[in-house]
A and B are shown apart, each in its own frame.
Chain A
Amino acid sequence: MREPDKIREEILKLSREYYQSKFGNQNEFIPEESVVNYAGRVFDESEMVNLIDSSLDFWLTAGRYAEEFEYTFAEMFDAEEALLVNSGSSANLVAISSLTSPLLGDRKLNPGDEVITVAAGFPTTVAPIIQNGLIPVFVDISLPDYNINIEELEKAISDKTKAIFIAHTLGNPWDVDAILKIAKKHNLWLVEDNCDALGSRYNGRLTGTFGDIATFSFYPAHHITMGEGGCVVVHDETLARAAKSFRDWGRDCYCGPGENNTCGLRFTKKYGYLPVGYDHKYVYSHVGYNLKLTDMQAAIGLAQLKKLNGFVEKRKENFKYLYDHLKEFENYFILPEATKNADPAWFSFIITLKEDGSFSKNQIIEYLEGKKIETRNLFAGNITRQPGFMNSNFRKAGTLKNTDLVMNNTFFLGVYPGLDKMKLDFVISTIKEFISKHSNASTKEI
């Protein structure tokens, strides 16, 4: 064996030992002292070994691990292409920007065109619509699935509507059959924000395989992580070309990092008003970004991807455990329900307080947080009321009654694979304790 290979092997052996020494023994859970996180990274020595192995290549930008991840992911989603990016938000930006590409001819989105979405979600589903000069059209959601209201969706379509861009909320797939039918009927692009739903299925098929594009996030709170990272899965050859260009500075050339003249036409063609033979590597067919990630991130992600099925099963198991134990409080809570024909890989356990309840959302979440149980809002609540968005150019289709209800009365708890029965039991007993204290309260403190 060559000397560098021997040293590498020794380093990787030591990194396994380091993992065991540093992270191998889980800390004891002490109720009210240990934090019950809503989400977090779940990893073992394989992530650490991949990370260090990649760092020893010192290739740094997207390399062999990124290539393997993209290939595996594209196969998993039966996609034309899977493009790694540096976050789920970047994935959304690439997805929407791709729809504005001149490569799409008369189907391209132009400034002023409308994109249907919801206001009860994450801001970077909406942000790229606005950033591209398009108009988000907000449709109310339905409960207890927290996805777009199908009847309202159809009513919201105007002659300016060109696309639907919606998330499978917290892992719960939207009504794919209905939405595909609407998209087809009105010739609309369909983008699945699958950032919170990796592993979710509808009619047995993975979400992310239904739309023209799907986006994914690998932030530590998600089903798998790379630290920071995301992916754009594209199901159309032309869209894939546009997406890659927007990710890679807007360039026309598809060579990867460190590659040159893959197409053999680097110095022979004429583009725009450039001289004939201008280096194709520096020809820009879109006003793009650089949203690539490093090979170290992809290396972690590849180890995580191999664990996805186990992670998904654990999320479902934790969700069911919470559901079964909180069902007795349905007088107080609207509990989450899976969409018909869906098998969600739940991101979290979402709870909405009934409107005539005897306590407020802030009361219960302050109580839980006081016991070191993390809670989160359904992200932006009603994004039309957010300071950064309230003056943006958007259209509300109908009332956003449920969206406002979610903003005021909804929070979620974790179901991630790092939660065991002991932690979940503590969550359940704390909620019971809170309800027993507040069930007879006569006034609501806000």
Chain B
Amino acid sequence: MPPQRKFSAKVLAIESFGEKVKRFTLLPEQAIPRFKNGQFLHLAMDEYDPSSNWPDSRAFSIASSKDDNTIEIIVSKKGRFTQRMFQDIKPGQKVWIRMPFGVFNLDKIENSAVLIAGGTGISPFISFLKSQYNIDLHLFYGVLNEELLIINDLVKDLNKSSNNIVHLYFEQSPVNNFPNMQIGRIDLIKAVENANENHSSIYISGPPALISATIDIAKKRGIPDSNLYFDEWQ
């Protein structure tokens, strides 16, 4: 992975998606180090002093494009650290970033891919989805409800391209209509069969249960390990 850097950034904007998900937009105080689509960063709220250890931090997928001059992350309120983020971080505040990390590398995708994302698991795909134009993509994206569809505009853009098909799954019926929309959980069998038909690699990001279920189905259908990539988190 590319060399890591530590740097401070100013919080530019915070956008809420329901009560438990927020998008933080950060303006780094130096050039953003190069990273690969799919990689993640560590964010710390306390001051970093080079003469001591890196402060308490958490990992978040980089959800902005390589071409942006800001960094975006999608945060789901889960534990003590993210609760503190929701409560304490305000626009204008300084935070510390260490990046990039991770071997979930979407830059390897050459011709076609099936992407499977559950909830905020869409985050590592966003930078890739914003920048690709010539790859045949099937995105299987499942959310609890319409409010949590954090890439609504991006989904519209993707649907405009003939290369892409976005399969949207809502567990709760949405008010609006979306192309290829279904109610319920992601149809993993359909996703895997799609990959098999098109000889595509499968990239999965989401809760551990989603990842393990996809892997089980993929293995049963003879998809080799070398065609399965997953962004594994606790």
Q: Which residues of A contact B (CB under 8 A)?
A: 56-59, 63-64, 67-68, 70-71, 74-75, 80-82, 237, 240-241, 254, 256, 258-259, 262-265, 268
Contacts and interface: CB of A to CB of B under 8 A. Distances in A.
B2 A74 contact: yes
Nearest to A268: B234
11 contacts: A64-B50, A67-B4, A70-B3, A75-B34, A81-B2, A82-B3, A262-B101, A263-B59, A265-B232, A265-B234, A268-B234
Contacts of B6: 64, 67
A74 B232 CA distance: 28
Given A64-B50, A258-B54, A263 B4 contact: no
Interface string B66-83: 000000000000000000
Interface string B198-234: 0000000000000000000000000000000000111
A63 B50 contact: yes
B177 interface: no
Given A57-B50, A262-B101, A237 B3 contact: no
Interface string B101-118: 111010000000000000
Contacts of B42: 262
B154 to A, nearest CB: 25
B1 interface: yes
Interface residues of B, number: 21
A311 B54 CA distance: 36
Given A237-B105, A265-B234, A259 B54 contact: yes
A87 B4 CA distance: 22
Interface string B42-54: 1000000011011
B52 to A, nearest CB: 8
Nearest to B50: A64
Contact of B33 (A71, A256, A262): A71
Contacts of A71: 3-5, 33
Contacts of B5: 67-68, 71
Given A59-B50, A74-B3, A258-B54, A263 B33 contact: no
A237 B2 CA distance: 8
Given A80-B2, A81-B3, A82-B3, A264 B51 contact: no
Given A58-B51, A258-B54, A264 B233 contact: yes
Interface of B is mostly: loop
A56 B232 CA distance: 39
Contacts of B53: 258-259
Contacts of A254: 1, 101
Interface in B24-52: 33-34, 42, 50-51
A258 B49 CA distance: 12
B200 to A, nearest CB: 21
B38 to A, nearest CB: 12
Contact of A264 (B33, B50, B59): B59
B53 to A, nearest CB: 5
Given A59-B50, A71-B5, A264-B59, 14 more contacts: A57-B51, A58-B51, A71-B3, A71-B4, A74-B3, A81-B2, A240-B1, A241-B1, A254-B101, A258-B54, A259-B53, A259-B54, A262-B101, A263-B101
A57 B52 CA distance: 8
CB-based closest 9 A-B pairs: A57-B51, A64-B50, A71-B3, A258-B53, A70-B3, A74-B3, A57-B50, A264-B59, A264-B233
Nearest to A59: B51
A421 B11 CA distance: 56
B234 A262 contact: no
B2 A256 contact: no
Contacts of B2: 74, 80-81
B94 to A, nearest CB: 17
- Specify which of B3, B34, B105 lies most central, judged by the most chain A CB atoms within 10 Å of its CB: B3
B234 A263 contact: no
A353 B187 CA distance: 78
A81 B51 contact: no
A82 B5 CA distance: 13
Contacts of B234: 264-265, 268
Contact of A263 (B50, B102, B105): B102
A237 B103 CA distance: 9
Contacts of B51: 56-59
A207 to B, nearest CB: 20
